[in-house]
Structure 1
Amino acid sequence: MSSKTFPSLDSERRIFERGNRFVIGIDEVGRGAIAGPVAVGVSLIDKTNPALEAWPEKLQDSKLMTPKSRSEIASPLIEWVSSYAVGFSSNKEIDELGISEALRLAAGSALDELFKDAKTRKRIAEDGAVILLDGSQNWLGKVSYGLDVQVQVKADTNCVSVAAAAVLAKVTRDSLMQELDTQNPGYGLAGHKGYASAAHIAALRALGPTDIHRVTWLTRILA
């Protein structure tokens, strides 16, 4: 497998070598869409997992995978990670708060879900964890539960924990967008998942926005 397209545990191992038992990979999906929520996925990776080196071999950056391949890999990923969660911020929250704060809100929801388990909280407190965050800036702010945050460009491409978080978040969000498609026919949401495809823009101009569109993002499109 080419290291250029498939992730590794290199970054996670360096975190483990510093005395931490856990890595929490975090990535967002749906940030650039004009309809539907933004989602943030978190995946918990445990150094002591006997199957640590046996993550699903077809795992890639979620953007490089087809919807079918992401769906097929979701269940094996859920079995491989120690825990995972997906948090959402709605289109209305994005309009009201802005995308940066909405991302923090979604990440906070996902981390709250992860830390809801008392055993997980206890193990992280005793054995150490670092958050591995895709991107160039730490946008988590106060929702990081006081953990160190390591920011890495292209972590969704290069780091197994982050790629896993992204795939699980995307599969979860895609499923939601399919449900929203049945509630809002005519926009093709099941296909483009809320992104600004030509067909989506044409439908917006013909039908107008729905309750799930990010209206503050539509000014130029509907001008």
Structure 2
Amino acid sequence: MSSHLPAVTPDWAYEREHWRRGYFRVAGVDEAGRGAWAGPVTVAAVILPGLAMDYPFRDSKQLSAAQREEYAAEVRRVAVAWAVEHAWPDEIDQLNILGATHAAALRALARLAPPPQALVTDYLKLRVNLPLSAPPKADALSYSVAAASLLAKTERDAVMRELDLSRPGYGFAAHKGYGAPAHRAALQELGVSDVHRRSFAPIRRLLDGQPDGLWPVGGNADL
């Protein structure tokens, strides 16, 4: 494994709070793609062995694409259980982005076998009948959430590469559906595709015939 890791290092502090109360299967939960204009929001849930080991797992935003792929493979290798679920634009448009993220998270948690006894999320306050810690920036602070962030990010990136092949011209492989200038330019030229989130303000404005409304809004976060 690469030794070139970011300075911010997760630990087991949030997991230990649950371990002390007898909940040893603690699932970390994180998402990728909440702010994108196209494609799914992707949620991963991961239960790591409760051994308090040091792992190379970090918040996926702190790593290069190659590191993310390397460490995501390691997550899948060592995890007690893991699952990834997507909420696609039709579900996002129906439920809103937060509701769709919660729905995908609950689906991922339901697939974990063995099931979790407690959760740590990146400020995702899920309605579950389980002990829950939901601190902000948990993907940089908790090994379990960092592991989930790696799976969510790499799985979503793979989906966006597939969408780039099936819907050429939008540049999904490069900007992953976020509001990058190239994406905005493609929308001006090609219009809205079936994988764009019609409830998001920039896309809604374009559908309403206000293409200039694309430009003041958006960003490249989480690319």
TM-score (norm 1): 0.85
The correspondence of residues 132-211 of structure 1 with structure 2, limited to 5 A, is: 132-135=120-123, 138=125, 140-141=126-127, 144=128, 146-211=129-194
The answer to whether structure 1 residue 27 and structure 2 residue 30 are counterparts is: yes
CA distance in 1, matches of 2:71, 2:7: 20
SS in 2 for 1:20: coil
The amino acid across from 1:174 in the alignment is D
The answer to whether structure 1 residue 219 and structure 2 residue 204 are counterparts is: yes
CA distance in 2, matches of 1:170, 1:99: 17
- CA-to-aligned-CA distance 1:110-139 (integer Å, 9 cap, x gap): 11211xx3xx14xx5xxxx2110111x51x
- Structure having the higher helix fraction is 1
The amino acid across from 2:111 in the alignment is E
> Cα distance, 1:65 vs. partner?
1.1
Tell me which stretches of 4 or more aligned residues in structure 1 moved more than 2 Å.
1-4, 219-223
Q: Percent identity?
A: 38
Instruction: Provide structure 1 residue ranges, at least 5 long, that are not aligned to the other structure.
Output: none
CA RMSD of aligned residues (A): 1.9
- CA-to-aligned-CA distance 1:145-203 (integer Å, 9 cap, x gap): x2111111110111000000011111111101100100010111011111110100110
Instruction: Provide structure 2 residue ranges, at least 5 long, that are not aligned to the other structure.
Output: 214-223
CA distance in 2, matches of 1:108, 1:2: 31
The amino acid across from 2:81 in the alignment is S
- CA-to-aligned-CA distance 1:39-89 (integer Å, 9 cap, x gap): 111001232x5xx4142x2x2111111211101111111112211101111
CA distance in 1, matches of 2:39, 2:173: 11
Aligned twin of 2:61? 63
* Alpha-carbon contact 1:6-1:61 (below 8 Å) kept: no
Residues 201-210 or 38-47, more deviating: 38-47
> Cα distance, 1:14 vs. partner?
2.5
